[in-house]
Chain A
Amino acid sequence: MANIFILLIIGFPWLGALIVWLIGDARPKIQHTFAVAFSLLSGISSLILLAFINSQPAIDLALGTSFGSLTFIPDGLAVSLTVIATVVGSLAVLFSVDYMRGEAQLGRYYFMVLFFIGAMAGLVLSGNLLFTFFFWEITALCSYGLISFYNDDPKAVAGGIKALIITQVGGVGLLAGALISYASLGSFQISELLGRADTIPTAALSFIAFSFLIAAAAKSAQFPFHTWLPDAMEAPTPISALIHAATMVNAGIYLLARFYPAFESVPGWKTAVILVGVTSALITAFMALTATDLKRALAYSTVSQLGYMVYAIGAGGVLASQFHLFSHAVFKALLFLTAGSVIHAVGTRDMRRMGGLGAKVPFARNVFIIGALALAGIPIFNGFWSKELILEVGLEHSPMWAYALMLLGAGLTAFYTFRMTWMVFFGTPRETLHIHPIGLAMKISLAVLSIGTFTTWLLFGGLNGILSTSLPFHEIEAESTLEMIKAVSFAPATWFALLVVTLGLGLFFAFGRKFALSESPAWLSTLTESSFGFEPVNRFVVSLVSNGAEKLRATQTGQLNWNILAIVGALLVVLAALVWGGAL
């Protein structure tokens, strides 16, 4: 049965993508309807798949000797991420009905979104590294196409290309790791790599481990690849919510969590993971302090929260990281979609021009506050429980300095979240903005997500159950929601974190409002504008490549004789190599 539902989960969105595209842009109403229908069907199929969780492949298709078998394994890790991708995906598509109403080229938009949803499900369900890579690249392609959706805007095109190139670095890392693992094991199966990791020579295993870390960092916009995500905010807001907050950027976390048992023993790997997580979480928290663009501020906080998940994996808390991933997907999708509805309503993304909007769009204000409280880690919202769980794991299993820096990050999170909320919804209006009403489809998806923000932490026991029973290589203890509540409530880590969060809030109420409206200090804004020195590095690489290519143009004469000379020359080199090597 599980095989049918896996095929449906991937097949429904892909079929829908084709159909919506074929319908043509002349009939937008039918396009909206079909897109919502197919994404909902996929979401329902993935919820049904929850009943068929198993650690054995549900689909096993032999593809000959060079590719191994195409397998799909519906284990706990894969299915929980599939549910997030398809359910948040269908909510984002539903939101798009209002957000994208009247836009041209809806066919292209929905094609990319639906193609992405199917590929994301395939990426996590695949049990074959080569196909994981294949789906991984499809998600990167869709991400690029959707960031550059407004392709008459140079900023959107540049942001898309930047995202594509930087995530390709990760793609190369994943492919290199997969090929080395194939060379050592003779198989692309993920279960083989997890089960026989100790038979791989140490050097090869370290190479795989660090390649996968690079892949994960590039995909999840972690340090030092964190610069693409803020520029990706040129995408339509439902896309920012779906791809750049709730799903695609989690692929890196998924990769680390999936292969944690294999790489755990590699010397230096866990420390490197912790380092990447802590650095990303902290520097982007600082950048969120000074951001004036609502979506960019949210993007920085996404990188920061992903940093928490990476940190949790480095500290050995795969469960904590997956739980935070789940909570984050819900509350960050909520925050992004609410931001989208506000931007749609007022027509600007600049928080300096907003202010006092709360009275005009009360619904958006209320749901945004729910999301913000979860992001800041205020008790009973889902973000609180998962963040406390990460900090608890961190206190026990990570170096003290890392834990202290993550605590600082929690305080900063509370501060910038409230700064953002206050700048948009409270205070006095700084500019008279014309308000468009928020549509019904938007309200439905926002309501669903805000209910989720209140309640998804109650699913902890279920998530823990499916992870602990279906992952044979991970050591995850079964724990019910009630036990988790008790553990978190009485842990000293929680009280430290709450203290720091309260401190952050206190600082906000003392200085925050003045800080938010005045120019940020020069040193801070210089640092954040250059992404802590990484923007110049990016520009240097770009100029290096384009100058080099410009110099190489001299070789492209377009003259037959020169080309033949090169061909004959290359032939001679090959012959010489063969003779020298003794093959001839």
Chain B
Amino acid sequence: MKLTEINIILIGIVSLLGVGFYGLLITRNLIKVVMILQILVKAVVLAFVFSGKVSGNLGLGQSIAATVIVADTIVAVVGLALAVQVRRRFGTLDAPEISTLRG
């Protein structure tokens, strides 16, 4: 595979997604989960800009990316606020620990 511009960005997207999924698989701490979700979303933002560039519709890709950034910030804020509440009520941030759904 030649290291063209396109390939470098593709590798970036895939590795960001890979880091994100791997992180979600192994993380138990809620704050870390929020952080990893941010990494995942960054991969998505990059993919939007990239697909805008490839399809020749850069403006559309960029505006969608901006929208995702705004929405994602709100997700992060709500997620962190929930983590604070969980810490106060359960005294722990460990996800399996606070799970009350029993299979």
Contact = CB atoms under 8 A, between A and B. Distances in A.
Contacts of B101: 556-558
Interface in A550-581: 553-561, 564-565, 567-568
A554 B102 CA distance: 9
Contacts of A553: 103
Interface string B13-40: 0000000010011111000010000000
Interface in B47-103: 95-96, 99-103
B103 A561 contact: no
Given A559-B95, A559-B96, A564 B103 contact: no
A559 B101 CA distance: 9
Contacts of B21: 564, 567-568
B24 to A, nearest CB: 4
Interface residues on A, range: 10 to 19
B95 A564 contact: no
Interface in A188-241: none
B99 A558 contact: yes
A554 B103 CA distance: 5
Nearest to B21: A568
Nearest to A561: B25
A226 B58 CA distance: 62
A549 B82 CA distance: 32
Contacts of B33: 560
B24 A564 contact: yes
Nearest to A555: B103
Contacts of B102: 558
A556 B101 CA distance: 8
A558 B101 CA distance: 6
A553 B99 CA distance: 16
Interface string A506-544: 000000000000000000000000000000000000000
A565 B95 CA distance: 15
A341 B82 CA distance: 60
A560 B103 contact: no
Nearest to B100: A558
Given A564-B21, A568-B21, A558 B28 contact: no
A568 B18 CA distance: 10
A557 B96 CA distance: 10
Q: Which of A553, A555, A559 has the most CB of B within 10 A?
A: A559
Nearest to A571: B21
Contact of B103 (A558, A567, A568): A558
Contacts of A568: 21, 25
Nearest to B96: A559
A553 B101 CA distance: 11
A556 B99 CA distance: 12
A417 to B, nearest CB: 55
B14 to A, nearest CB: 11
Contacts of A560: 24, 33, 95
A427 to B, nearest CB: 60
B27 to A, nearest CB: 8
Contacts of A567: 21
Contacts of B26: 561
A385 to B, nearest CB: 63
B21 to A, nearest CB: 5
Residue in B28, B101, B103 whose Cβ sees the most chain A Cβ within 10 Å: B103
A55 B30 CA distance: 66
A567 B17 CA distance: 13
A557 B27 CA distance: 16
Q: Which residue among B24, B27, B102 has the maximum number of chain A CB atoms within 10 Å of its CB?
A: B24
Nearest to A553: B103
Contacts of A555: 103
A567 B95 CA distance: 18
Contacts of B96: 559, 561
B50 to A, nearest CB: 17
B28 to A, nearest CB: 7
A567 B25 CA distance: 10
B51 to A, nearest CB: 16
Contacts of B28: 561
A557 B95 CA distance: 12
Contacts of B100: 558
A564 B99 contact: no
Contacts of A558: 99-103
A558 B103 CA distance: 8
A554 B101 CA distance: 11
A560 B32 CA distance: 13
A118 B101 CA distance: 43
A565 B103 contact: no
A567 B99 CA distance: 19
B8 to A, nearest CB: 19
Nearest to B99: A558
Contact of B25 (A554, A556, A557, A565): A565
Given A561-B25, A561-B28, A564-B25, A556 B103 contact: yes
B71 to A, nearest CB: 20
A558 B102 CA distance: 7
A556 B100 CA distance: 12
Nearest to B26: A561
A378 B28 CA distance: 78
Which residue of A555, A559, A564, A567 has the most chain B CB atoms within 10 A of its CB atom?
A: A564
Contacts of A559: 95-96, 99
B16 to A, nearest CB: 15
B23 to A, nearest CB: 9
Contacts of A554: 103
Nearest to B24: A564
A564 B33 CA distance: 12
Contacts of B99: 557-559
Nearest to A554: B103
| A-B residue pairs, 5 tightest by C-beta | A558-B101, A564-B24, A557-B103, A558-B99, A568-B21
Interface of A: 553-561, 564-565, 567-568
9 contacts: A554-B103, A556-B101, A557-B103, A559-B96, A560-B33, A564-B21, A564-B25, A567-B21, A568-B25
